[in-house]
Amino acid sequence: MNMNAVGIDVSKGKSMVAILRPYGEIVSSPFEIKHTSGNIHSLVEQIKSIEGESRIVMEHTGRYYEPLARELSLAGLFVSAVNPKLIKDYGDNSLRKVKSDKADAVKIARYTLDSWTKLKQYSLMDEIRTQLKTMNRQFGFYMKHKTAMKNNLIGILDQTYPGVNTYFDSPVREDGSQKWVDFAATYWHVDCVRKRSFNAFVCHYQQWCTRRKYNFSQDQAEEIYRAAKELVPVLPKDDLTKLVLKQAIEQLNTASKTVEELRALMNQTASKLPEYPVVMGMKGVGPSLGPQLMAEIGDVTRFTHKGAITAFAGVDPGVNQSGSYEQKSVPTSKRGSAPLRKTLFQVMDCLLKTKPQDDPVYAFIDKKRAQGKPYYVYMTAGANKFLRIYYGKVKEYLASLPQ
């Protein structure tokens, strides 16, 4: 039986294709195709016309490979999307260093032949998982934007009302509003507080809390007024300063509202996935981190064993051994999904704050911490253990469901 290895080097809007057989036989020299329905249809017909079994391999880089992988898979062809790191580390067996689309396509085709029996069929991610992952990337983008807007506002407030952002630690509301931001919108300059008499400020602040539906505290009002007397502003209390502050507050509120809307939408979307009840039942996971985990891990059944999912996240311990030498403590690989590692660390941080005594992951982290292990070591070890438990629980639950 003929083995036809189709290597595709994918880029934006176009790809380079090379088709090889064992022992260096060239079926088709590298040629370019556009990511249009006509070009893809022609490629499908060409591959199907070749005698023997054909397997197609491409790198899963960004989002560029998805349309091509989807269309080829729907056409009934064997498609495998592999980690770019595997292709990069694959031997060139040459002293010449050549980097071109044609050379890359040939290299992928040679990798296909050498890894023929190990290739995994590309599975079409359903729309829910694709949407969830897209929303999670948008969520991360707007979170960075929100943090930038928050730091910008605090920087301006330090010149008009220093420390006002530390007065309240109320959680963010569903509409994205926060008490300290709303307070700063009304009392944007220290003179807005101390130029009033004490009784006048307390009365005004109490009415503000009632309108905004915040809790009022007489002791807190006294503390705010007393602290305002000692503060030294830099910018004057005038219309220009007020305008700059109002703009900064509006920008932060817009970003915060978008973040909370995305957070709620992600939870709603994730609830449609079969593993949702299992993931949400795990300690350290809530309506925010749960959907993020499911978005970045995807379909857990595509991982053949626990080591595969920890390698995908980049939290697997490395190995450094040669002869009689064996390094006892080896850094983690960090070759996997950076967004997933970030989410896992957030879950570990939540466990450290809530301290669930009956949770095996927290007990493991606490043990490592008590042994004097560095922060990154016990956090990574905890993430590895959590991911292994996640894999076992979710895979077992999915296997128990009707097909």
Q: Three-state SS for 356?
A: coil
Could you read off the pLDDT of 167-223 as tens digits, one per residue? 998 889 999 999 999 999 999 999 999 999 999 999 999 999 999 999 999 999 999
Tokens of 354: 């809530």
Mean pLDDT of 272-300: 93
| Domain residue limits, the chain | 3-124, 131-269, 276-400
Tokens of 171: 């959680």
For the chain, percent of residues with pLDDT exceeding 90: 68
Tokens of 348: 């570990």
Distance between CA atoms of 318 and 384, rounded to whole angstroms? Answer: 12
| Residue 47 confidence (pLDDT) | 93
| Residue 329 confidence (pLDDT) | 57
Least confident among 145-154, 238-247, 323-332? 323-332
| Residue 64 confidence (pLDDT) | 83
| Residue 166 confidence (pLDDT) | 92
Asked whether residue 389 carries a pLDDT value surpassing 60, the answer given is yes
Could you read off the pLDDT of 310-352 as tens digits, one per residue? 988 888 765 544 555 455 555 666 677 889 999 999 999 999 9
Mean pLDDT of the chain: 89
Mean pLDDT of 24-48: 92
- Cα→Cα distances 17→6, 28, 118, 317, Å: 7, 8, 21, 36
> Which of 7, 8, 295 is closest to 132 using CA atoms?
295
| Residue 334 confidence (pLDDT) | 66
Mean pLDDT of 42-56: 93
| Residue 153 confidence (pLDDT) | 96
Strand order in the sheet with 14-21: 25-34, 14-21, 3-11, 53-59, 78-82
Distance between CA atoms of 348 and 362, rounded to whole angstroms? Answer: 8
pTM metric for this prediction? 0.73
- The half-sphere exposure of 370 on its side-chain side, counting CA atoms within 13 A, is 6
| Residue 330 confidence (pLDDT) | 59
CATH top-level class of 3-124? alpha beta
Structure confidence at residue 85 as a pLDDT band (50, 70, 90): confident
Tokens of 137: 């990337």
Mean pLDDT of 20-30: 91
CB atoms inside a 10 Å sphere around CB 304: 9
Tokens of 74: 């729907």
Distance between CA atoms of 71 and 48, rounded to whole angstroms? Answer: 14
CA–chain centroid gap for 208, Å, is 38
Compute φ and ψ for 3, nearest 5 degrees: -110, 120
| 142 Ramachandran zone, left/alpha/beta (phi>0; psi -120 to 50) | alpha
| Residue 122 confidence (pLDDT) | 79
